[in-house]
Structures are given as C-alpha cells and as structure tokens.
Amino acid sequence: NAGVTQTPKFQVLKTGQSMTLQCAQDMNHNSMYWYRQDPGMGLRLIYYSASEGTTDKGEVPNGYNVSRLNKREFSLRLESAAPSQTSVYFCASSEDRGPDTQYFGPGTRLTVL
C-alpha cells in the first residue's frame, strides 16, 4: 500500500517549457488535490477534483491545467513554465470532499530557470 505517489521527485525546466506532474493514490479515495508550497507561505491549493471526471479551480490555478484520468490518477500540467512557478508541488487525496484527513504525496521540487 504505497499511499500517494508522485513523479518526478525533482525537475528543472527552462522558461517556456512544458511538463506534466503525475500523481496516483491506491487508497480508493474520491477526492484529490494539487498544492504548491513556497517559503514563508502555507500550502496553496491549485486545483481540486471531487471525483473522477470533475475538477475545480483552487486559490492559484493560473498557469496550470489538470486531468483526473481515473479514480487513482490526477495530473498537473504546466503548459509554459515561468520562474514564478518554481515551488514544491504536493498532491493529496482524501476519502471524501469534506474536511477529512488529507494524505500527501512526497512532493515534486520544480525549478524554472
């Protein structure tokens, strides 16, 4: 039982490049989330998916797109990376859409040059 897994662990991009961050959970959770964490700031929600086939914008969605591929997988895409997107990205999941415990993946450290 791996919980929440994320790939890659580290990535360096040049401005304007694109990439997709992958996330998968094996806990049969309905809800999945993408957050970013920057120094001195709390985690901020980028996008949220309440269930397979649905996605909603969070606090900081600009510059990102998401896909809930199936119940297990939720990917985050940067179409044209900018230095302001340098951050640590965490994927999380929870059983349902309420304020349940959210289980986080190990994170992806992204640097945009």
Shortest Å, Cβ 110 to another protein: 14
Q: Which is nearer to another protein, 31 or 87 (CB)?
A: 31
If phi over 0 gives left and psi between -120 and 50 gives alpha, with beta otherwise, what is residue 53?
left
User: Cβ of residue 15: shortest distance to another protein, in angstroms?
Assistant: 25
Please give the residue ranges that form the binding site for another protein (CB under 8 A).
31, 33, 40-45, 48, 50, 58, 90, 94, 97-99, 101-102, 104-107
Q: What are phi and psi of 112, to 5 degrees?
A: -115, 120
- Looking at the Cβ atoms of 85 and 94, the one nearer to another protein is 94
Cα dihedral 112, 57, 29, 27 in deg (nearest 10): 0
Q: At closest approach, how far in Å is the CB of 50 from another protein?
A: 7
- Give the span between the Cα atoms of 102 and 96, in whole angstroms: 9
Distance of CA 14 to the CA centre of its chain: 20
* Closer residue to another protein in complex, CB, 28/101: 101
